[in-house]
Each structure stands twice: as C-alpha cells, then as structure tokens.
Amino acid sequence: MNLFASMMPALSEQSYIDALRGRRRFLQAGAAVALGAFGSSLWGADPNAADSSHQSQVEAARAMPLSKLNEESQRKVLSVLERPSIYRRLPGKTIDCDPELFVYLVRNPEVVVNIWELMGVSQMVAERTSAFTWKGNDGQGTESNIELVYGTDELHLLYGEGFYEGPLLKRKVAGRAVILLRTSYGLGADGRAQVSNKLDVFIAIDNVGAELLAKTLQPMVGSTADVNFTEAAKFLGKLSQTAETNPDGMPRLAQKLNRCNEDVKRGFTSVATSVGQRVAQRTAANNTQRR
C-alpha cells in the first residue's frame, strides 16, 4: 500500500491535495514577486479576518523585534517596511497541534515542502543553505532566498528575496518580503494542545511600475494566500494528529525525505515520535486538575 495512504490517511485526502496544489498559484503570483517561499480593522467585528488596513500594518511593524536584529538584518527588514507595495494580515488560525512539532516545522520548512513533493501535490523545492537560510523553486518560474532573521517559540521573523519569470506576467518581476508570524499556545475545552497564529506579510516590488503591479496583484495574492495559509495550518494539524496516532510511521516518513539533511531528519523523527507521549502527559495533568 502507498506510504501516505497507509501511514497518514488523513494527509492523503483529496481535499488536502487540491488545496495544497493551490499553493503554486500563490507562489506564481504573490510569493514570486517577493517571498518566493510562505479587510477589516484589527479591532473590527471579526479579529481573525484578513486585514490590509493601515492600523494593522502599523501594529505589525511595531511588533517587529528590530532592536534585537543585527545591523544588516535591520537594514533589510526596514527596506521593506518603509515602503511596502503590498501588506496583508492573513486570517488568524487556531489548530490542534503539538507545540514542539509546530515550532520544529516552522524552523525546518523543507520538511513540509518535501512531504508535499512526495505526496505529489506540489512541485516546490526547498533546500537549506545554512542554519537559518533556504533557497526555493516552485518549478513554475519562481526562485527565492529566505532567511529566518529572528525566532522564538512565540515569534518568527523572516526576510525573503525572489523573482518570478513566467507566463502569468509579461516580464521578470523581482521583490523582497518580510513575514511576521506570531504564535500563542493553549489548551482547548477537551484539554488538547492548541496553536494560534497571526501572520503579517509585507511585500516590496522592485520593478518599475511597482505600484500599478501591486494594485493588479493584491486581490489575487491576498485571497490565494488566505486559502493557502488556512490549508497549510490544517495540514500541520493533520500531521500532528498522525504523529500522535502512528508514531512508528514517523521514522519511515523521515527516511523518505530525500531533500532534507540527516540532522533535520533525525530532529523530525525525535520530535514527531514523542508527540503521543506529550499528549498523554497533558491529558493526565488536565485530568488531575479537574479532580
């Protein structure tokens, strides 16, 4: 039987395959011009809705840990924040997911990209180039370089440079991006671990006519990014669920990861096979508190 059909049936559902294929549209359009990789007011009726308001843009910029960055990283991040062509806060998402597995996958995105490739749902390739940098290619005209410039369990700040050259646009388009991922952790009513995410994206298009291009791309980038962020979050939740219920399958999956180095595969095996143990510990602690 197929590895993913037997070991991770939840990840092989056609709905997830279709959704993950949609990531290529985002990469071709929005990420191509800057990322290459990954509304209403913030205080409006729905705090989890997508948002491109000036108020949210200012709040996100203020949340950047600029004082903790080195001079070069500050310069790169500020070059985007000072004049972004596109800004968007994607819809907030809360998923059932093991926190340790979540952080590991955020800091090792090549694992998720490689799983998608093995599942046949994406042509994307992510290759680690150093401890905190990756280069990517979506197979559709996008090439990029991504750097994790700051990271804690609750906050990850990434900077990206990339370009798109393909049939969607008449000329090569280059750009830069800053991505701020803010995460909080808690327990659901059933005592299961939950991860809540808020993702802000700033894109600066470098080409002549960037403003006009941004106005053209923003609706497509925004709506597609929203869908892909939602489905990617669901994917991580499903992967956590599978690691919990089938820990013996995780080492086999790790060995299939042909684009990840051995240290990354060992780290993934370690954190994934221990998800069930952490779930049991949280459940026991929650039951004790209820007595």
Res 178: pLDDT: 96
Q: Mind giving me the DSSP string for 209-241?
A: THHHHHHHHHHHHHHHHHHHHHHHHHHHHHHHH
Res 163: pLDDT: 86
Res 164: pLDDT: 78
> Around Cβ 285, how many Cβ atoms within 10 Å?
12
pTM for the structure as a whole: 0.81
d(C-alpha 286, C-alpha 187), whole Å: 9
What pLDDT, in 10s, does the model give residues 122-138? 778 899 999 999 998 87
Work out the burial of residue 71: count CB atoms within 10 Å of its CB; fewer than 13 is exposed, 13-18 middle, 19 or more buried: exposed
Res 91: pLDDT: 83
Work out the burial of residue 143: count CB atoms within 10 Å of its CB; fewer than 13 is exposed, 13-18 middle, 19 or more buried: middle
Domains and CATH numbers, the chain: 10-284 (3.30.530.20)
Res 227: pLDDT: 64
d(C-alpha 102, C-alpha 233), whole Å: 10
Regions of the chain short of the pLDDT cut 70 = 1-48, 168-169, 208-229, 286-291
